[in-house]
Chain A
Amino acid sequence: MSSPVLEIRDLRVVFTGPRRSLRGGRTVVQAVAGVDLDVRAKETLALVGESGSGKSTVARCVLGLVRPQAGTVTYEGRALGPVDKRPAEVQRAIQMVFQDPGSSLNPRMTVGAIIREAWKVHPAVAPEGDRRQALADVLADVGLDAGVAGRRPSALSGGQRQRVSIARALALRPRLLVCDEAVSALDVSVQSQILRLLVDLRRTHDLSVLFITHDLAVVRQIADRVAVMRTGELVECATAEQLFTAPAHPYTRGLLSAAHDLEGTRAGFEHTREQIR
């Protein structure tokens, strides 16, 4: 097995709320309570769990947007601090795709400006001269034509915005892509487009992906390994096959059965699918 790109050890994050009374102490949310996680080279690791279980917080720690109370995040053997303290090369190597395509792009900037901004910070990635070509390339990578470069996010559909979001991340040639609910806000028909794009990109760009979602069905489609979180703790971590066929932890079993429950007329869908092929 390939060695881990990213290692998370005993990560702990506590959010302190306001104090209620003088002696009452603060309300404390233990968002992440000791998580150990590895992301290996070129694999897709899915992080699942119900709302509030701390998935996003783990992601934000990886990116250095949240400072953990304890624990380490190591990238290729180097311990990582807050995002603005990281060496440029690490900043470049870890990128993120957000959930809401409507809010992850600065609405005042054109698509071209959004992507070029990345190169302003890391000029080495795309030398001054061939940025135009580089821009066209990266847009092509995510299936957009060069014409959208002049448009603002508001003039794009949700799926297109999410592609721009991915292009912005890819522009820096990252090694690790963190996707926090990257497809949850999209329409069903568009969701498959983006998932497929992600799967393709991972192959062509040799990416490792940390894929956060609460949709087990999606996980089943794309993940190599799955980590299940619950109230800040990791309850189970296994290969996708193992997890879906023989879940070890009762909580995982509960999640799976709820998902099954919703599957309803599963047979109907299968039937349809067969017909199409």
Chain B
Amino acid sequence: MSYFVIKRLAIGLLTIWGVVTAVFVVVRLAPGDQATVALGPDATPAELEALRSSLGLDRPLPLQYLSYLGDVVRLDFGESYRFGRPAMDQVIERFPATVQLTLAATAMAIVFGLILGVVAGKKPGSALDRAVSTVALGLQALPPFWVGIMFILIFALQLQVLPSAGGGSLANLVLPAVTLSIPFTALVARMTRSGVAETMSEAFVLTARSKGLTETQVLTGHVVKNSLIPVVTVVGLQVGTLLGGAVIIETVFAWPGLGSLLVGAVGNRDYAVVQAATVLIGLCVIVLNLAADIVNAKLDPRIRLEARR
């Protein structure tokens, strides 16, 4: 187990290095740089040059890369020129909001997704199953920004029961979290459905029935837990994706999370923030995947942690 964790962390470090490098290459490939944005439309070529050299942007890329890598190793992600403070500080400040949103959405998705999935998967092919599957597909097909704006119009404007935008309070969390959880719920439901449906055809379910258990007992005692492994894997992956991918929802609901920070930073070519945010998100994805694997190993004693994928 400890060896496994160490090995996975080593792979994680390698992945982080890949992410760090990729983000470096990618942001520097993009046309326009920090100097263009900082100086705005009125800049003269001379001013641009001066600023570039003072920022070190005129050095050869490999050199910039090396010094950047050196800084990252020392956990120094540089100063954000937009925010005028260490980039990591800014990123960390936004992190809790993102975590709140993601956790709330994930919790909802797990609860409702599991219920729907179990209900559907317990009788594969039944009318209920088809209904749930179709609804899940429909939920996955809703453009999130559309749902978000409709929610605002309905719950904030018409019914006036929930605030429309901003962060902080629990009430503020409801709409964005629900919006974010809709496609996720659908995914969890579909995963659970297929897992449960498959487990239902396993021989040990027959064994459980042969002991005289009721269908509910069979389901809760022998089916659900056994079908969770792919669900856990997906939740692990998806939560990671949500961390960085909730941009649209954060924008619609003015939720001060990492996604909108990242998009803004890319637009402003705030390299330091882009890099810091990407690394943090990458780290989370890696840790969550690791966590999912550990949970799976706890769920299923047959899984030897190393034999992943």
Contact = CB atoms under 8 A, between A and B. Distances in A.
B307 A18 contact: yes
Contacts of B3: 19-22, 24
A22 B3 CA distance: 4
Contacts of A24: 3
B35 to A, nearest CB: 49
Interface in B270-309: 304-307
B6 interface: yes
Interface string B1-39: 111101100000000000000000000000000000000
A46 B269 CA distance: 73
Contacts of A17: 304
Contact of A22 (B2, B304, B305): B2
Contacts of A19: 3-4, 7, 306
A19 B307 CA distance: 10
The DSSP consensus for interface residues of chain A is loop
Nearest to B6: A22
Contacts of B1: 20-21
Nearest to A27: B304
Contacts of B305: 18
A21 B307 CA distance: 14
18 contacts: A17-B304, A18-B304, A18-B305, A18-B306, A18-B307, A19-B3, A19-B4, A19-B7, A19-B306, A20-B1, A20-B3, A20-B304, A21-B1, A21-B2, A22-B2, A22-B3, A22-B6, A24-B3
**Interface size for chain B: under 10, 10 to 19, 20 to 34, or 35 or more residues?**
10 to 19
Interface string A16-48: 011111101000000000000000000000000
Contacts of A22: 2-3, 6
A23 to B, nearest CB: 8
A17 B4 CA distance: 13
Interface residues of A, number: 7
A19 B3 CA distance: 7
Nearest to A22: B3
A16 to B, nearest CB: 11
A125 B192 CA distance: 53
Given A18-B304, A24-B3, 7 more contacts: A17-B304, A18-B306, A19-B4, A19-B7, A21-B2, A21-B3, A22-B6
A24 B307 CA distance: 17
Nearest to A17: B304
A17 B2 CA distance: 16
A22 B307 CA distance: 16
Interface string B141-184: 00000000000000000000000000000000000000000000
A24 B306 CA distance: 14
A105 B215 CA distance: 39
A235 B300 CA distance: 38
A210 B306 CA distance: 36
B203 to A, nearest CB: 18
Contacts of A20: 1, 3, 304
A81 B210 CA distance: 52
Interface string A254-274: 000000000000000000000
B270 to A, nearest CB: 41
Contacts of B7: 19
A18 B306 CA distance: 6
Contacts of B304: 17-18, 20
Contacts of A21: 1-3
A21 B306 CA distance: 10
Q: Which A-B residue pairs are the 4 nearest by beta carbons?
A: A18-B306, A22-B3, A21-B3, A19-B3
A212 B6 CA distance: 43
B28 to A, nearest CB: 39
Nearest to A21: B3
A18 B307 CA distance: 7
A52 B123 CA distance: 39
A18 B308 CA distance: 11
B277 to A, nearest CB: 33
A20 B4 CA distance: 7
A146 B6 CA distance: 60
Nearest to B7: A19
A17 B307 CA distance: 9
Nearest to B307: A18
Residue picked from B4, B6, B305, most chain A C-beta under 10 Å: B4
A17 B304 CA distance: 10
Contacts of A18: 304-307
